[in-house]
């Protein structure tokens, strides 16, 4: 029988993080193995092919395709500058010459003999990849990718929006259960990653953007605030490219959930430190979760503050978070792992575990409904 | 490996899905061909493993474990040569044949381009869908977009294959050449293999082939096949479909991690999963000669397959995939498209819209979690009804004919053309619905699955309801490519679970609530009545033959045999008997939350569902 998935989220005070920065198309890698890099350092560069502008010559000059071809002044592969004559048509008895000029600089990509159209490819766009995390270059695949190793804290959220950002961690007033309203947002938060309690209002997110914060980390968000913030309804949990002023990372889920105590206390211990964060989330196969990375040399990799990976597996004594009703959001300790499937309230037979809640009550939960802490 | 149906006895088949690789063992027993054992393992096509054969071997190992049959050779290893033991003389070890389907990595993703949306682009879409693809976009000269918008869109999509069509043979060439120009301008990169040129299949006006090829060859690998729309009156999907399968194997599969080896393990082509299911649906409909609807509702997408007769009485196959409707990854899309109110109308309890939205968003971000409480289960089943409703509406928009003109047909297309531009899906004539996907196949109560299908599709007349026991149809579809008789035998014996039949009278004017709209007899004896606004049930002996007669009580009531006519049908009774639905169509929920909840509870109580 397939194992229930218990991937959990990593909350590690000290670990080694490797980030491979990969170019979308082959290009140039700009550093070497052993180089030290800052988050803003450009480590690779490539050029994406430019757009093609289609010049509809017959339609523009009011002539037939064969006449356009006859009057062409360029051929495939030619470089043309804006204003160059691409086609010249001698009108009746050569009296009414009409010309069509290149609207942009480019290279003639194609000449379509059937339609008389000419495709002009514009100059390529440069793409620059930054290091994103501070650290040491440990691998270079020339022209393709650079891998950077960084030591420090690594915290995953469950969901986020917005891409890579870099800023200083600042704890907001209140605890993990405090609702993040506009009054919680300090005026001097420019360049900061604000760590709050839960359920930020749309107005609070707007306020954080106004004061120049680069990120916010909260326990949960509600659907309406997220939709208002994005300006549209999100259909799938595939994020990271939203054009939003600050990256938002949710550690627990939707609704009314405080940041897990473990996560909150680790972030509190990191207040004032610089962090890289990324809201990119991809829930489908090859899951990507949002992350906060704080490079630091004062903690050895392996310092405990969370689980050490899914391979640790479910075992009696393990701390878990329950991720589905009726105990959604509760943390618990596994007290039994019955091997045989059991019937649950819905009538389904499934593999379960027994867990002790903080109030001492022992409850039965499908294994699919817990995450390792 | 053995592919001779006469001597085959043991066949191992995998379906490599996005999340799970499922291996099924089919064996010829004394009682005939049966599905005997299964094994599952996480699919390993993604990083960090990035080799599909690892997951496949894990699934094989589980089959070995549960069956006690030695299947794998001692030196079996991921990425190695075929890992199977050949069957010995005693027949208790090894396998005769290994086959596979695949939808890993998001399945086969295509973009189609044509000149006219409702003609060539629509034919191209049907060709791609029938080949098992997800159509990411259909681009056409009349789609209302500017050049740069089409170019941006094509560039953004990164399809596996593009199918370009346009123009009838001998007709105007300019427009299809312009579409080729747009493709070149976009120069989209294929999803796999950065160094590869994008595969483009040209299936348009044959006279424009040289021009189109001349333009496209700068940026793409081009294959030219017969026009999908050689004349306005004819559609010819076969050659394009075959070219798609060829590119799927040579360009998509072979560049996906580990598939180069997996392809060597099997002597038959690896089929896209939906194409295999489609073949199974087509084969079954061909055998039964009756209209059929099949739905596979997954976590991310919902596929609908149908076979209905056209005006000439010929069976017509259609497949659609609603790539944005699903029960977990895409659950928020169902919420967006249907709305919280539409989902909430199916709940037998009250729930605030904000709470409903947050719960579904939590399912979106934790897609592998399962309902533990009845309330949570009912919420997922409510989502399922709306996903079915939306997917069927999408299906009906494409399962139409060709502008109402007479068509020509070739032998290869006997099941793949559409006739007369009208809705081919006639729910009153529908004989059987097959539901597949976790929410239907694994519903804790089979009656709940029947009710989801009945209400989601708003069945009418007299219809059988079945579910695929463990989503076996992909495996059987690819088995049918080698041994169709074995596939059909297993389909009927192990795959298809006969759940119920539904009798749903349809009337123009709503009769008084509680009044009898139809009388039902079983084997000539009165067995029950269908009452207006109510749902009821007649229990039958599962598996027993029964002759059902449904007699409408007025001339304007249609039970599937025509207005006022009595319907008579010989059936094999399903597990849940006969459902009587007198609510009329379309289904409407009361505006008052209290009344709505009371109605939902009454329906559940009548059908004996838990929690009512």
Interface probe, candidates A106, A201, A224, A237, chain B, greatest B C-beta count within 10 A: A237
Q: Does B90 or A228 have the greater pLDDT score? A: A228
Q: Count of A–B CB contacts within 8 Å?
A: 170
Whether the CB-CB separation of B176 and B166 falls below 8 Å is answered with: yes
Q: Does A18 touch chain B (CB under 8 A)?
A: no
Phi, psi of B186, rounded to the nearest 5 degrees: -75, -35
Phi, psi of B22, rounded to the nearest 5 degrees: -115, 125
Whether the CB-CB separation of A47 and A125 falls below 8 Å is answered with: yes
pLDDT at B417 over 60: no
* CA neighbor of B417 nearest in space, from B305, B303, B275, B314: B314
* CA neighbor of B480 nearest in space, from B204, B192, B277: B277
pLDDT at B418 over 60: no
Q: What is the pLDDT of residue A316?
A: 93
Q: Does A261 touch chain B (CB under 8 A)?
A: no
pLDDT at A192 over 90: yes
Q: What is the pLDDT of residue A310?
A: 41
* CA neighbor of B432 nearest in space, from B580, B567, B308: B308
Interchain pair B365, A283: CB under 8 A: yes
pLDDT at A232 over 80: yes
Contacts of B31 (CB under 8 A, 6+ apart): none
Interchain pair A114, B147: CB under 8 A: no
Q: What is the pLDDT of residue B193?
A: 61
Average pLDDT over residues A85-95: 81
Residue-by-residue DSSP string for B374-393: HHHHHHHHHHHHHHHHHHHH
Question: What whole-number percentage of chain B has pLDDT above 70?
Answer: 95
Interchain pair B332, A52: CB under 8 A: no
pLDDT at A96 over 50: yes
Residues of A with CB below 8 A from B326's CB?
none
Interchain pair A345, B148: CB under 8 A: no
- Rounded to 10°, the helix B174-186/B147-157 angle is 50
- CA distances from residue B210 to A113, B120, B223, B611 in whole angstroms, order as listed: 10, 19, 12, 67
Q: What is the pLDDT of residues B10-50, one digit of tens each?
A: 999 999 987 788 999 999 999 999 999 999 888 888 767 88
**DSSP one-letter code for B549:** E
Phi, psi of B517, rounded to the nearest 5 degrees: -105, -20
Whether the CB-CB separation of B372 and A344 falls below 8 Å is answered with: yes
Phi, psi of B291, rounded to the nearest 5 degrees: -60, 140
pLDDT at A285 over 80: no
Count of CB atoms within 10 A of residue B395's CB? 23
Mean pLDDT of chain A: 89
A203-224 exposure pattern, b = at least 16 Cβ within 10 A, e = fewer: ebbbbbbebebbbbbbbbbbbe
Q: What is the pLDDT of residue B192?
A: 66
Tell me the pLDDT band of B420, cut-offs 50, 70 and 90.
very low
**DSSP one-letter code for B573:** -
Q: What is the pLDDT of residue A365?
A: 96
- CA distances from residue B168 to B118, B414, B516 in whole angstroms, order as listed: 14, 21, 55
* Closest alpha carbon within chain B to A236: B330
pLDDT at B52 over 50: yes
Interface probe, candidates A284, A290, A328, chain B, greatest B C-beta count within 10 A: A284
Q: What is the pLDDT of residues B182-217, one digit of tens each?
A: 888 887 777 766 556 889 999 999 999 999 998 898
Phi, psi of B112, rounded to the nearest 5 degrees: -115, 150
Tell me the pLDDT band of B227, cut-offs 50, 70 and 90.
very high
Q: Does A38 touch chain B (CB under 8 A)?
A: no
* Closest alpha carbon within chain A to B62: A1
**Cα separation of A176 and A174, whole Å?**
7
Residues of A with CB below 8 A from B215's CB?
110, 112
Residues of B with CB below 8 A from A365's CB?
372
Q: What is the pLDDT of residues A3-23, one digit of tens each?
A: 334 457 889 999 999 999 988
Average pLDDT over residues B63-87: 88
Residues of B with CB below 8 A from A324's CB?
362, 366, 369-372, 376
Q: What is the pLDDT of residues A32-77, one digit of tens each?
A: 999 999 999 999 999 887 878 889 999 999 999 999 999 999 998 9
**Cα separation of B294 and A4, whole Å?**
29
Task: Name the CA radius of gyration of chain A, rounded.
Answer: 28
Whether the CB-CB separation of A136 and A278 falls below 8 Å is answered with: no
Give the pair of three-digit tokens for residue B462: 């007299």
Interchain pair B185, A235: CB under 8 A: no
pLDDT at A303 over 60: no
pLDDT at B254 over 80: no
Residues of A with CB below 8 A from B37's CB?
none
Which of A343-352, B226-235, B264-273, B541-550 reaches the highest mean pLDDT?
A: B541-550
Q: Does A354 touch chain B (CB under 8 A)?
A: no
Whether the CB-CB separation of B136 and B163 falls below 8 Å is answered with: no
Interchain pair A285, B178: CB under 8 A: no
Whether the CB-CB separation of A363 and A336 falls below 8 Å is answered with: no
Q: What is the pLDDT of residue B450?
A: 98
Nearest neighbour of B336 by CB, restricted to A54, A235, A255? A235
Mean pLDDT of chain B: 89
* CA neighbor of B141 nearest in space, from B168, B126, B169, B120: B120
Give A187 to chain B, closest Cα distance, Å: 31
Tell me the pLDDT band of A114, cut-offs 50, 70 and 90.
confident
pLDDT at A238 over 90: no
Q: Does A170 or A305 have the greater pLDDT score? A: A170
Average pLDDT over residues B514-536: 97
Residues of A with CB below 8 A from B375's CB?
325
Q: Does A348 touch chain B (CB under 8 A)?
A: yes
pLDDT at B369 over 50: yes
Interchain pair B373, A119: CB under 8 A: no
Residues of B with CB below 8 A from A65's CB?
174
Q: What is the pLDDT of residue B290?
A: 93
- CA distances from residue A158 to A219, A221, A254, A323 in whole angstroms, order as listed: 9, 11, 10, 11
Q: B13 in helix, strand or coil?
A: strand
**Cα separation of A8 and B71, whole Å?**
35
Average pLDDT over residues A281-291: 81
Q: What is the pLDDT of residue A308?
A: 40
Q: What is the pLDDT of residue B210?
A: 93
Whether the CB-CB separation of B18 and A282 falls below 8 Å is answered with: no
Nearest neighbour of B185 by CB, restricted to A4, A54, A324? A54
Q: What is the pLDDT of residue B406?
A: 42
Q: Does A231 touch chain B (CB under 8 A)?
A: no
- CA distances from residue B452 to A345, B446, B540, B597, B601 in whole angstroms, order as listed: 19, 10, 20, 17, 15
Instruction: Scan for tokens 């990271």, then name that residue.
Output: A240
pLDDT at A355 over 70: yes
Whether the CB-CB separation of B390 and B333 falls below 8 Å is answered with: no
Q: Does A83 touch chain B (CB under 8 A)?
A: no
Q: What is the pLDDT of residue B361?
A: 95
Q: What is the pLDDT of residue B117?
A: 86
Average pLDDT over residues A251-280: 94
Q: A45 in helix, strand or coil?
A: strand
Give A212 to chain B, closest Cα distance, Å: 28
Q: What is the pLDDT of residue A34?
A: 96
* Closest alpha carbon within chain B to A112: B215
Interchain pair B177, A324: CB under 8 A: no
Tell me the pLDDT band of A94, cut-offs 50, 70 and 90.
low
- CA distances from residue A278 to A97, A189, A214, A229, A297 in whole angstroms, order as listed: 58, 18, 11, 17, 21
Q: A170 in helix, strand or coil?
A: strand
**Cα separation of A12 and A300, whole Å?**
11
Interchain pair B357, A223: CB under 8 A: yes
**Cα separation of B121 and B400, whole Å?**
14
Interchain pair B215, A4: CB under 8 A: no
* Sign of torsion over alpha carbons A153, A154, A157, A162: positive
Give the pair of three-digit tokens for residue A350: 């499934």
Give B125 to chain A, closest Cα distance, Å: 23
Average pLDDT over residues B423-427: 90
Tell me the pLDDT band of B388, cut-offs 50, 70 and 90.
very high
Residues of A with CB below 8 A from B43's CB?
285
Strand bridging mode B545-552 / B315-322: unpaired
- CA distances from residue B410 to B319, B413, B417, B541 in whole angstroms, order as listed: 19, 5, 9, 44
pLDDT at B255 over 80: no
Whether the CB-CB separation of B363 and B331 falls below 8 Å is answered with: yes
- CA distances from residue B171 to A160, B166, B176, B300 in whole angstroms, order as listed: 52, 10, 10, 41
Give A366 to chain B, closest Cα distance, Å: 7
Average pLDDT over residues B343-349: 97
Whether the CB-CB separation of B499 and B575 falls below 8 Å is answered with: yes
Q: What ipTM goes with this model?
A: 0.87
Q: Does A95 touch chain B (CB under 8 A)?
A: no
Give A188 to chain B, closest Cα distance, Å: 32
Burial of A185 (0-12, 13-18, 19+ CB in 10 A): buried
Interchain pair B361, A253: CB under 8 A: yes
Burial of A243 (0-12, 13-18, 19+ CB in 10 A): exposed
Strand bridging mode A238-239 / A215-221: unpaired
Interface probe, candidates B181, B195, B384, chain A, greatest A C-beta count within 10 A: B181
Give the pair of three-digit tokens for residue A200: 């930020």
Whether the CB-CB separation of B530 and B580 falls below 8 Å is answered with: yes
Q: Does A202 touch chain B (CB under 8 A)?
A: no
Instruction: Scan for tokens 């041994």, then name that residue.
Output: B483
pLDDT at A286 over 70: no
Residues of A with CB below 8 A from B173's CB?
114
Interface probe, candidates A159, A223, A253, chain B, greatest B C-beta count within 10 A: A223
Q: What is the pLDDT of residue A93?
A: 67
Count of CB atoms within 10 A of residue B155's CB? 16
For residue B320, the cross-strand partners are B304
- CA distances from residue A36 to A134, A275, A298, A300 in whole angstroms, order as listed: 8, 17, 18, 19
């Amino acid at each position: 029988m397939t194992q229930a998935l218990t991937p959990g989220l990593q909350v590690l005070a000290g670990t080694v993080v490797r980030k491979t920065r990969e170019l979308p198309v082959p290009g140039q890698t700009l550093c070497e193995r052993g180089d030290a890099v800052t988050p803003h350092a450009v480590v690779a560069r490539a050029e994406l092919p430019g757009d093609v502008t289609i010049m509809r010559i017959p339609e523009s000059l009011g002539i037939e395709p064969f006449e356009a071809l006859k009057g062409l002044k360029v051929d495939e592969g030619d470089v043309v500058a804006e204003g160059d004559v691409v086609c010249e048509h001698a009108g009746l008895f050569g009296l009414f010459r009409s010309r069509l000029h290149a609207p942009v600089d480019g290279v003639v990509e194609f000449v379509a003999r059937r339609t008389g159209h000419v495709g002009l490819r514009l100059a390529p766009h440069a793409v620059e990849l930054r290091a994103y995390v501070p650290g040491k270059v440990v691998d270079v695949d020339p022209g393709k990718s650079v891998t950077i190793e960084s030591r420090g804290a690594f915290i995953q959220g469950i969901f986020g929006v917005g891409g890579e950002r870099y800023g200083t961690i600042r704890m907001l007033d209140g605890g993990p259960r405090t609702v993040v309203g506009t009054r919680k947002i300090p005026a001097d938060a420019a360049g900061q990653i604000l760590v709050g309690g839960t359920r930020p209002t749309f107005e609070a997110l707007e306020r954080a953007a106004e004061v120049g914060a680069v990120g916010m980390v909260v326990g949960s968000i509600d659907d309406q605030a997220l939709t208002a913030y994005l300006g549209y309804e999100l259909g799938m949990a595939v994020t990271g490219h939203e054009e939003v002023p600050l990256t938002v990372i949710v550690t627990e889920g939707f609704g009314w959930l405080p940041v897990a105590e473990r996560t909150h206390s680790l972030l509190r211990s990191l207040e004032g430190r610089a962090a890289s964060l990324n809201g990119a989330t991809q829930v489908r196969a090859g899951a990507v979760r949002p992350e906060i990375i704080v490079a630091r040399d004062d903690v050895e990799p392996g310092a405990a503050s969370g689980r050490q990976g899914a391979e640790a597996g479910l075992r009696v004594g393990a701390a878990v978070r329950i991720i589905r009703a009726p105990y959604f959001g509760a943390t618990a300790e596994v007290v039994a792992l019955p091997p045989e499937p059991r019937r649950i309230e819905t009538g389904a037979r499934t593999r379960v575990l027994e867990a002790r809640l903080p109030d001492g009550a022992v409850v039965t939960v499908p294994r699919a409904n817990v995450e390792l802490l | 490996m053995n592919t001779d149906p006469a001597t085959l006895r043991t066949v191992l088949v995998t379906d490599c899905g996005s999340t799970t690789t499922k291996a099924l063992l089919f064996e010829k027993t004394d009682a005939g061909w049966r599905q005997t054992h299964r094994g599952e393992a996480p699919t390993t096509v993604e990083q960090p493993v990035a080799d599909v054969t690892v997951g496949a071997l894990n699934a094989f190992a589980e089959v070995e474990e549960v069956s006690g049959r030695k299947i794998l050779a001692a030196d079996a290893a991921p990425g190695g040569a075929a890992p199977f033991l050949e069957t010995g003389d005693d027949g208790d070890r090894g396998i005769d044949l290994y086959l596979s389907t695949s939808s890993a990595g998001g399945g086969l993703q295509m973009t189609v381009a044509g000149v006219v949306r409702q003609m060539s682009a629509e034919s191209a879409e049907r060709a791609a869908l029938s080949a098992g693809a997800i159509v990411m976009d259909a681009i056409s000269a009349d789609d209302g977009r500017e050049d740069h918008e089409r170019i941006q869109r094509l560039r953004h999509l990164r399809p596996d294959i593009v199918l370009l069509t346009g123009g009838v043979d001998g007709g105007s060439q300019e427009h299809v050449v312009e579409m080729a120009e747009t493709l070149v301008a976009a120069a989209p990169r294929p999803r796999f293999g950065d160094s590869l040129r994008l595969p483009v299949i040209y299936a348009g006006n044959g006279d424009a082939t040289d021009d189109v090829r001349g333009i496209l060859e700068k940026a793409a690998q081009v294959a030219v096949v017969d026009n999908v729309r050689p004349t306005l009156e004819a559609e010819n999907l076969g050659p394009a479909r075959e070219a798609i399968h060829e590119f799927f194997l040579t360009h998509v599969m072979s560049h996906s991690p580990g598939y180069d080896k997996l392809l060597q393990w099997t002597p038959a082509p690896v089929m896209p999963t939906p194409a295999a299911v489609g073949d199974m649906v087509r084969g079954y409909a061909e055998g039964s000669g009756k209209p059929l609807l099949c739905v596979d509702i997954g976590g991310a997408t919902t596929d609908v397959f149908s076979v209905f007769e056209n005006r000439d009485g010929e069976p017509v196959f259609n497949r659609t995939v609603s790539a944005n409707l699903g029960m977990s990854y895409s659950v928020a899309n169902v919420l967006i498209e249907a709305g919280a109110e539409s989902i909430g109308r199916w709940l037998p309890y009250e729930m605030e819209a904000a709470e409903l939205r947050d719960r579904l968003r939590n399912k979106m971000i934790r897609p592998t979690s399962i309902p533990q409480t009845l309330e949570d289960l009912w919420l997922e089943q409510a989502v399922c009804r709306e996903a079915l409703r939306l997917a069927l509406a999408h299906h009906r928009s494409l399962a139409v004919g060709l502008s109402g003109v007479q068509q020509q047909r070739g032998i290869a297309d006997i099941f793949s053309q559409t006739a007369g531009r009208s809705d081919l899906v006639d729910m009153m004539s529908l004989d059987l619905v097959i539901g597949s996907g976790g929410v239907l196949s694994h519903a804790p109560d089979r009656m709940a699955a029947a009710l989801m299908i009945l209400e989601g599709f708003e069945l009418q007349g007299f219809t059988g309801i079945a579910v695929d026991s463990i989503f076996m149809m992909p495996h059987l579809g690819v088995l049918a490519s080698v041994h169709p008789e074995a596939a059909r035998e297993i389909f009927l014996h192990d795959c298809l679970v006969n759940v119920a039949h539904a009798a749903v009278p349809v009337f123009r004017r709503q009769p008084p609530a509680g009044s009898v709209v139809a009388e039902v007899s079983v084997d000539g004896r009165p067995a029950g009545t269908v009452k207006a606004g109510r749902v009821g049930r007649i229990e039958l002996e599962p598996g027993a033959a029964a002759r059902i007669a449904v007699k409408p009580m007025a001339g304007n009531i249609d039970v599937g045999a025509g207005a006022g006519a009595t319907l008579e049908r010989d059936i094999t009774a399903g597990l849940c008997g006969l459902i009587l639905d007198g609510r009329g169509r379309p289904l409407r929920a009361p505006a008052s939350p209290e009344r709505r909840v009371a109605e939902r509870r009454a329906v559940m109580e009548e059908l004996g569902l838990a929690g009512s």
